[in-house]
Amino acid sequence: MLGAIGASIGWGISQATKVIGSFSLAYVSGEWHGVEGKPLVQMRAAVIILILAALVMAYGKTFCGT
C-alpha cells in the first residue's frame, strides 16, 4: 500500500522494533538494574523517539497526501 517507499519504511520500522525489543528484554531481565541518572533517561528518551518515528513512518503516505 505504500508503493515505492514501502521497503524503506518497512526497514526503518524493523530497525526501530529491534532496538525497542532489545531494550525491553534487557530491562525486564534486569540488565538495567541499578542504572540511574542520565544513561537511563537517554535510553528511555531514545525509545520514545523511536516509537514516534515508527508511527510517523507507518503513516507517512497518509501525511504526504499521495
| Cβ-Cβ contacts under 8 Å for 57 (sequence gap 6 or more) | 9, 12, 13, 16
- Res. 13: pLDDT tops 60: yes
**Whether residue 9 has pLDDT greater than 80:** no
Q: Helix 38-58 vs helix 6-29: angle between axes, to the nearest 10 degrees? A: 150
Residue-wise pLDDT for 22-66, tens only, equals: 988 988 998 888 888 998 899 889 989 988 888 887 776 665 655
- pLDDT score for 64: 60
